[in-house]
Amino acid sequence: MNLQVKPTLVIIGTLLIGIVLGALMSGTLAERRHRKIRSMMRPDGFSEQLIEVIQPQDNEQRDAIAAVLQNTGRRIDEMMRESRAEIHAMVDSMALELKPLLTDEQNARLQKHLGERPPRGDRPERRFPRRRGP
């Protein structure tokens, strides 16, 4: 092989290996982050995560800490449900306000982007509210 070709191939090979390893590590780290977030979204996931961080000294301390964390977790969950409902109401209101300003095609794209939910005024009321979580 030519003296200039060999170092070039080594550099290109090293670069390709680095790109592949970087992509694999990025995917692994992202999956780990998503798994941690999903675990916190479970009932008592918030408490479990913080108990793991705090590392109580004994069962008595663990029980006292767990009571505080579970109470806080319930309050956070309620706040998130209320916020989600308020956000959905605002988005529905915005869609209704935009509807006369947009063409049919633009409205269709907007509805698709918003999750294919028609604005609240155009959709029938549900008999039973959607329940989130287990």
For residue 44, give every residue at least 6 positions away whose Cβ sits within 8 Å of its Cβ, in sequence order, or none.
70, 73
CA distances (Å), origin 56, targets 43, 70, 108: 20, 15, 54
Do residues 76 and 83 lie in contact, with contact meaning Cβ atoms separated by under 8 Å? no
Q: In the prediction, which pLDDT does 50 show?
A: 86
Q: How far is CA 33 from the centre of its chain?
A: 10
d(CA 21, CA 72): 41
Tell me which residues of the chain have a pLDDT lower than 50. 118-134
Do residues 39 and 45 lie in contact, with contact meaning Cβ atoms separated by under 8 Å? yes
Provide the residue ranges of all domains of the chain, joining segments of one domain with +: 1-41
Q: In the prediction, which pLDDT does 116 show?
A: 60
For residue 89, give every residue at least 6 positions away whose Cβ sits within 8 Å of its Cβ, in sequence order, or none.
120
Other Cβ atoms less than 10 A from the Cβ of 34: the count is 10
Interval 49-71: pLDDT, tens: 888 889 999 999 999 999 999 89
Q: In the prediction, which pLDDT does 43 show?
A: 64
